[in-house]
Amino acid sequence: MPIAVYNDKMTMQLKDIVNTSLRAEKRAFKVGIFSDGESFFFKEKVGIYLDTKWTSLYDIGPSRIDRPKDVFKMALKLGKAIEEGKLEFGIALLAEDCGAITVLLNKFKNVRAVFAADEEFIKSSRKKFDANAIVVKNKGITIDTKNSEKEVSLFLETAFDEENRYILDFIAKNENINV
């Protein structure tokens, strides 16, 4: 079927073929994602899943399985992008160094990173203090990412509960103090 037919009687446009009605109703989230080398296929599968969920996905790396990047440098890039407001959310998919990456991400102003311990913790972290970065441990996942897709969806779809605004205000006020 041709995308456009030009004659006197009929003109078909892309909007006639593709359902774009949801774009007006839903705003795409700007999400950054990265993985370590062991989690490359994991990242690719979750990335494909996120593309179907109206996200603007920014793949920080690695771009190929045979070209792993330093996860700490990718975490710095993600943290800086969230801090500057270029990204709304961040996702790190890792086989190792989950705790270190979570701590590193939390060093950036306005970044509230959590380790995806379980579904209840993910929901709670979004509702209570508007977590905007999640670190997911790759538990040997290469093909079947359904549980991790569920964790990522839960993270992105759980709304911040405004009655907890005082927690965010307290965090923001005390972000630069050394305890």
pLDDT per position as a tens digit, 93-124: 999 999 999 999 999 999 999 998 888 999 99
Sign for the CA dihedral angle at 159, 112, 42, 47 comes to positive
- Residue 113: count other Cβ atoms within 10 Å of its Cβ: 24
Residue 33 structure tokens = 């994602």
Q: Are 164 and 131 within 8 A, CB to CB?
A: no
Q: What is the mean pLDDT of the chain?
A: 81
Residue 129: φ, ψ to 5°: -135, 25
Is residue 38 classed as helix, strand or coil in its secondary structure? Answer: helix
How many distinct structural domains can be found in the chain? 1
Tell me if 7 is assigned to some domain: no
* Alpha-carbon torsion (9, 13, 17, 20), positive or negative: negative
Classify residue 39: in a domain, yes or no.
yes
Domain span at residue 33 reads 25-173
Q: What is the pLDDT of residue 125?
A: 94
Q: Where are the beta strands (DSSP E) in 100-149?
A: 113-115, 133-137
Output the domain CATH number for residue 139: 3.40.1400.10
Answer whether residue 90 shows pLDDT above 50.
yes
Phi-psi region of 28 (alpha: psi -120 to 50; beta: other; left: phi over 0): beta
Task: pLDDT band for 26, please (50, 70, 90 cuts).
Answer: low
Tell me if 53 is assigned to some domain.
yes
Inside any domain, residue 113: yes
Tens digit of pLDDT for each residue in 27-57? 688 999 999 998 888 888 888 888 877 678 9
